Chain A
Amino acid sequence: MSEEAEAGAVRWVRAAQRGDALAMTRLLDELTPYVGRLCAPIALADGPDAAQEALIAVFQNLGGLREPAALYGWVRRIAVREAVRVAQRGARQQPAELAELPAPGSAELAVDVQDVLNRLSPEHRAILMLREVEGLDERAAADVLAVSAGTAKSRLSRAKSAFRKAWDS
């Protein structure tokens, strides 16, 4: 996220909070790809539903965002929780058991991860996405998921193991 884009988003947040629909449109343009990247690895086939519900939650609660500079962290928290909720509601996937995530940049990861994600639970997918796509450390990921650092560590370990096992099967 460039500083310029962030500054623009902050300006749109303030105008949107005053009821400016065109500012809401610009903010929607800015946030939709971000929310889509967060929701799809967790909600999979329900990704568009999850992204839409997350954005509705974001825009309906935008008036309560006191510090616009915190926009992206706030949106991330909402999007991940909505995606997990939608994925659980869909209950389309069975949790896998688990070994280790291929190293970043390895040839194994060059293949589409989608099929492997299909075999993981929403909670596993959420922690993997926060770690591998968002680049968060375990403490930050725990904060987004509203779980303890120990729980996040444990989930990540199981998710990596599941990822490897699913990959090898």
Chain B
Amino acid sequence: MSGRTAGTGTSRWPVADLDPVRRMQVLASALPGGGFARVRIAAPYERVWDYLADLDRSIPELIGFIRRFELRDDGTATATGRLGNRGRFDVDLRDGWCVMQDRFVVGGFAAVADGETTLLAACGAVRVRGVRRLTPLMLGDRTVLRTLTKVRHKVELP
């Protein structure tokens, strides 16, 4: 069962929960031409999420075309590209969940603890219709999987 019940009158009906990784898969399915990947990381959730949630550090390390990422308290961020170009991102960052978007791209991470390991998912998509032809090169499943592999190398102990 789903592990939870909800009261209705005096009865208790079961309720299904979706963890952040499942929710990320739903979100990815709604993004046209986007990529999605999921991996199991041999590291505890806290280590994985502490690394990812430090966006100013993790985003430039994980996303090749971003040189600097500066998150502000108001939930916006400025990304500076390798060529000095800048983009303003809106960021929804919570425990186990992060979605970022600017005018052109959207990306997200989600994680859930599974014992001593972590289930980690990510998605990426291009928001501009005409650019989506390039999506498989920029943000397809394999690209997203490569990003998750980078996370693995950052957080798993040798």
Using a CB–CB cutoff of 8 Å, the interface residues on chain A facing chain B are 16, 19-22, 24-25, 28, 32-33, 35-37, 39-41, 43-45, 47-48, 50-52, 55-56, 59-60, 62, 104-107, 109-114, 117, 129, 132-133
Contact = CB atoms under 8 A, between A and B. Distances in A.
Given A22-B101, A45-B1, A104-B9, 8 more contacts: A19-B31, A32-B18, A40-B1, A40-B15, A40-B16, A48-B16, A59-B30, A129-B13
**Band of interface residues on B:** 20 to 34
Interface string B66-107: 000000000000000000000000101000010101000010
A21 B2 contact: no
Contacts of B101: 20-22
Interface of B: 1-2, 5-6, 8-18, 22-23, 25-27, 29-32, 90, 92, 97, 99, 101, 106, 108, 125, 127
B29 A47 contact: no
Given A21-B108, A22-B99, A32-B23, A113 B18 contact: no
Q: Please name the 6 residue pairs, one residue from A and one from B, whose CB atoms are nearest each other, closest first.
A: A47-B16, A59-B30, A40-B16, A109-B11, A36-B16, A40-B14
B36 to A, nearest CB: 11
A22 B90 contact: yes
Contacts of A117: 14
12 contacts: A20-B101, A21-B27, A22-B101, A32-B18, A35-B16, A41-B13, A47-B1, A48-B2, A48-B22, A105-B9, A114-B13, A133-B8
A163 B10 CA distance: 16
A37 B15 contact: yes
Most buried by B among A20, A52, A59, A62: A52
Nearest to B27: A24
A62 B25 CA distance: 16
